[in-house]
Structure 1
Amino acid sequence: MYTVLLYLHSILRWIILALLVINIIKIATGNSKIKYSKWLLIAAHTTLLIGLYQYFAGGSGYALIQQNGMAAVMKDATMRFWAVEHISGMIVSIAFITIAHVSLKGGNTKKANMFFVLALILILAVVPWPFRDAVGRPLLPGM
């Protein structure tokens, strides 16, 4: 089950990135629609729930802190990424997406776009891309 959820988590990343770009473009062109933002909100929160399960039930999140202690985790870049940076960055990103959705729903497109852009930048920064030496994962699961 863990592997299936990891694959789903990875695939949802692409859906979230695509929907973020769509929302940013739609708002920038004055053609914003709440339905794209709602789909983004659903995908982001679903990914968050899967990620929280992986963090607490898997071996590369909270388990690292339990096994090694916080001081050791913070000294090691790979452990720090999985135990602290990835989850923190993603929680903040999803908070930004939620704020953007509420702003868009209220008609504040400028604020919504700002938070969508911030979420996109933060997600791009904390995703384990293949080119990241110690933490890289394939672009698609199973590759």
Structure 2
Amino acid sequence: MQILLFIHSLLRWLVLISIIYSLFRVYMGLKNQTVFSKTDNLVRHWTATIAHIQLIVGINLYIKSPTVKYFLSNFKQAIQHLEFTFFGLIHILLMSIAIIVLTIGSALAKRRKNDEVKYKTMLVWFSLALFIIFIAIPWPFSPLAHRPLFRPF
């Protein structure tokens, strides 16, 4: 369980960095009116892939988590506590939605014919996914649940 938490924590940063880097490339592509390059396409693809790997690790954690097990087996009591509700319901729901949004955006951008439309498609969908992810991460300053920025191994 500890190794999964470490990997999930590490992948969080890779997901965030890859989405932010994707959005930076989108911004530069739109600003400079450049061709949607092979590199842009690889960044799009790998951003979605990293997010999918994170989702798989997260689902494994969800299934094995004692917090989630408690939440599911004691729903009436646990729903009254924000941290149990966050990890038992809010986190998994929002992160799943974010990955779906990111995946749709990636697939739509891939299929667009016009370079500017590819960039704009990624801009909208990846930005929305990033916003949802920021809400759903248990930051140390979050009112929903508190976790460290880095989990030790």
TM-score by length of 2: 0.84
Aligned 8 A contact 1:99 1:112 in 2: no
Q: Which moved more, 1:32-41 or 1:10-19?
A: 32-41
Matches within 5 A, 1:12-51: 12-30=11-29, 32=36, 33-51=40-58
1:142 maps to a residue whose letter is P
Give the structure with higher Rg (CA): 2
Q: Residue 11 in 1 paired to residue 18 in 2?
A: no
Q: 1:133 deviation in Å?
A: 5.4
Q: Residue 86 in 1 paired to residue 91 in 2?
A: yes
Q: Percent identity?
A: 26
1:129 maps to a residue whose letter is W
Matches within 5 A, 1:1-143: 2-30=1-29, 32=36, 33-61=40-68, 63-69=69-75, 71-107=76-112, 108-132=118-142, 135-142=145-152
Superposed CA deviations along residues 105-138 of structure 1, whole A, max 9, x for unmatched, are: 1123322211100011111111011112572111
Secondary structure of 2:123's counterpart equals helix
Aligned 8 A contact 1:103 1:109 in 2: no
Q: Which moved more, 1:47-56 or 1:109-118?
A: 109-118
Query: Which 4+ stretches in 1 moved above 6 angstroms?
Result: none
User: Which 5+ residue runs of structure 2 have no aligned equivalent?
Assistant: 113-117
2:2 maps to a residue whose letter is T
Distance in 1 between residues matched to 2:144 and 2:128, nearest whole Å: 25
Distance in 2 between residues matched to 1:123 and 1:26, nearest whole Å: 19
Q: Which moved more, 1:40-49 or 1:130-139?
A: 130-139
Secondary structure of 2:150's counterpart equals coil
